[in-house]
Amino acid sequence: MIEFRGVTKQFPDGTVAVEGVDIVIPPHKTTVLVGSSGSGKTTLLRMINRMVDPTAGQVLIDGTDVATVEPVALRRGIGYVMQNSGLLPHRKVVDNVATVPLLRGTSKREARAHALELLDTVGLDRSLAEKYPAQLSGGQQQRVGVARGLAVDPNILLMDEPFGAVDPIVRAELQQELLRLQEELGKTVVFVTHDIDEAFLLGDQVVIMQQGGRISQAASPVEILANPADDFVADFVGARRGKRALHVTEVDGQRLVVDADGRPAGVLAS
Amino acid sequence: MNLVLDAIAWILDPTNWEGVGGIPQRLWEHLWISAVILLIAAAIALPVGVLVGHTGRGREAAVTVSGALRALPTLGVLSLFALWLGIGLRAPIPALVILAIPPLLAGAYAGIESIDRRIVDAARAMGMNERQIVGKVEVPLGLPIIVGGIRSATLQIIATATLAAYVADFGLGRFIFSGLKTRDYAEMLGGSILVIVLALVVDGAFALTQRLVVPAGVRATRFTELRSRPARPRAAVG
Ligand SMILES: Nc1ncnc2c1ncn2[C@@H]1O[C@H](COP(=O)(O)OP(=O)(O)OP(=O)(O)O)[C@@H](O)[C@H]1O
Ligand SMILES: [Mg+2]
């Protein structure tokens, strides 16, 4: 379990990126941080592995304040996947995946063998193992990034817009893959996106952030749609005007579900 | 034209390739002193440059110091050191080290700075400590530019080590100074040609090295990279 208690981050230039955040991130579930650009999602995420230190408040992992844990050791136990995969361009795919286990002292042979298994896990062909990152497609690079994040079998996996830079089809594929993986592995996933659809698809808990790094609502997708905390949330999730403002109309005896513009979303099953 | 032919004849004259003060001895001395100077300058400038590039701190100071060192006239510095330290190699070595530091320093910090910050950020987020980031990420990726700095420093050292002969009985510069004294222009020009040829050969070797140290994963895919990456690295945190 990850817990934020009264966490604020003000950068040296005066920008307040996160303000007074209290939130509990349950274990073995996916929590998605969603909000527009600059709302402090990345900052909040990076406080978990101490890539950013809060200026006030505490971040606790299983009750331990991360401020008391040495950052390098902390980071080696937490998976981190970023938007542009962040792979080391001068290392082969398999060596990229094996990087952290090697840092932790696993033997080279064992680390490489495990890396190959992880390529299977994320749905990559082993023939890619000896290639360099720049020889892969964007989607393949992202999968390698996920494999690397899983390499030390961390309890916590941090993902910062991991699918932000791939085309919609690959993106949908990667999302399904992540759902499948999460079913299998049950990690505590903290996932950042600015795409509310992605948030509703992946999140057990969805945290909606607004400018100034405040949390508007943290709840399950169902709850957010049923009871948006305020106008901002209702607008953001499109519950009023967008494609989620659905209603039923009857056409030739069939009950159709249509969105706010009258476009059909489907048929109401009985 | 005649003079050039005379100079070449001088170089090819077997008697100039023999004994004490012959071309082989001077060539060897020249290379040797250049290597010593390069090693000393590199031992000072490369760690400082890498540190500046890694931390992003002290960059202004490095630029200022480099600029100041570059502005010093080497012959003047050499004379000063010679007056202070006396005749021999004690003066030219520090004078040439000063000359070699700016390109080494600039190559080192520019090499490290050239790396996409997102890669460094990811390495840190994975749990590399600062030493590992420098050793396993920044130096390998910045190496082509770092070697570029070593290359231009070496060229300057080889060219300017000629001046060592001004205060010491040492190096290819001997031919130039003694030719000047005795008005033996064939010897003088011959000595210059030897320095130029030496510089070109060493430069060629460095050009090759520079290509070899481009990491395989970066080399293999220059073209795809040019197409798909933004020209300027974006901020690490988006
Ligand atoms: N190192 C920094 N120094 C100063 N300000 C920063 C720094 N990092 C982030 N900020 C600022 O903090 C605010 C929140 O940034 P953050 O990166 O957390 O937003 P985000 O929600 O992840 O945005 P995006 O969707 O664009 O990735 C922004 O206004 C940003 O400019
Ligand atoms: Mg972000």
With a 6 A CB cut-off, is A193 part of the ligand 1 pocket? no
Nearest protein CA to atom 27 of ligand 1, as residue: B238
A205-210 and A30-35 strand pairing = parallel
The answer to whether the beta carbons of residues A60 and A2 sit under 8 Å apart is yes
A157 C-alpha to ligand 2 centroid (Å): 16
**Structural tokens at position A145:** 């990034």
Q: Please tell me the class of the B21-213 domain.
A: mainly alpha
Both A73 and A142 in one domain: the answer is yes
Q: Whose CA is nearest to atom 2 of ligand 1?
A: A11
CA distances from B228 to B47, B118, B119, B191, B214 (A): 33, 15, 16, 51, 19
Q: Which two tokens stand for residue B6?
A: 């005379």
Ranges of H-type helices in A81-186: 93-103, 108-121, 138-150, 168-185
Quote the domain boundaries for residue A261. 242-270
C-beta of residue A31 within 8 angstroms of C-beta of residue A205: yes
Contacts of B123 in chain A (CB under 8 A): 86, 88
Residue A214 Cβ contacting ligand 1 at under 6 Å: no
Place of tokens 């101490």: A50
Q: Do A141 and A253 belong together in one domain?
A: no
**B202: exposed, middle or buried (C-beta count within 10 Å: 0-12, 13-18, 19+)?**
middle
First-residue to last-residue Cα distance in chain A: 40
Q: Is the CB of A33 under 6 A from ligand 1?
A: no
Per residue, the 3-state secondary structure of chain B, as one string, reads CHHHHHHHHHHHCHHHHCCCCCHHHHHHHHHHHHHHHHHHHHHHHHHHHHHHHHHCCCHHHHHHHHHHHHHCCHHHHHHHHHHHHCCCCCCHHHHHHHHHHHHHHHHHHHHHHCCCHHHHHHHHHHCCCHHHHHHHHHHHHHHHHHHHHHHHHHHHHHHHHHHHHHHCCCCCHHHHHHHHHHCCHHHHHHHHHHHHHHHHHHHHHHHHHHHHCCCHHHHCCHHHHHHHCCCCCCCCCC
Instruction: Please tell me the distance in Å from B224's CA to the nearest CA on chain A.
Output: 7
Put simply, the answer to whether A134 touches B225 (Cβ < 8 Å) is: yes
Q: Mean pLDDT per segment of 10 residues, for chain A of length 270 residues?
A: 96 95 96 95 97 97 97 96 90 96 94 96 94 93 94 95 89 93 94 94 96 94 92 86 81 85 83
Number of independent structural domains in chain A: 2
Distance A194 CA to ligand 2 centre (A): 9
| Nearest one of A223, A254, A259 to A240, comparing CA atoms | A259
Q: How many residues does chain A have?
A: 270
A25: left (phi over 0), alpha (psi -120 to 50) or beta: beta
Answer yes or no: do A233 and A246 share one domain: no
Same domain as A252, residue A231 = no
CA B165 to chain CA centroid, Å, is 20
What is the structure's pLDDT at A165? Answer: 83
pLDDT of residue B228: 44
- Asked if A252 and A234 sit in the same domain, the reply is no
Structure tokens at A260: 């706010």
Kindly state whether residues A148 and A263 are assigned to the same domain. Answer: no
DSSP one-letter code for A240: S
**Same domain (yes/no): A139, A257:** no
CB B136 within 8 A of CB B98: no
If you measure from the C-alpha of residue A45 to the centroid of ligand 2, how many angstroms do you get, rounded to a whole number? 9
Query: What CATH number is given to the structural domain containing A130?
Result: 3.40.50.300
Residues A57 and A184 occupy one common structural domain: yes
The ranges of chain B with pLDDT < 50 are 223-238
Half-sphere exposure of A36 (CA within 13 A, CB side): 8
Which of A88, A102, A158 is the best mutation test for B, with the most CBs of B within 10 A? Answer: A88
Q: Which neighbouring-strand residues pair with B69?
A: none
The pLDDT value recorded for residue A267 is: 87
Contact A237, A228 (CB under 8 A): yes
Tens of pLDDT, residue by residue over B191-230, are: 999 999 999 999 999 999 999 999 888 876 554 444 444 4
Does ligand 1 come within 6 angstroms of the Cβ of A228?
no
Same domain, A210 and A236: yes
Residues B203 and B230: their CA atoms lie apart, in Å, by 32
Distance from the alpha carbon of residue B107 to the mean position of ligand 2, in angstroms: 33
| pLDDT given for residue B112 in this prediction | 96
Mark whether A233 and A264 lie in a shared domain.
no
Q: Which mutation among A42, A51, A53, A210 tests ligand 1's pocket best, with the greatest number of atoms within 8 A of CB?
A: A42
**Are A189 and A264 in a shared domain?**
no
Beginning with the edge strand found earlier in the chain, give each strand of the sheet holding A16-25 in spatial order. A16-25, A2-10, A56-61, A64-65
Q: For tokens 């990850």, what's the residue?
A: A2
* Rounded Cα–Cα distance for residues B158 and B30 (Å): 7
**Strands A264-267 and A254-258, sheet pairing:** antiparallel
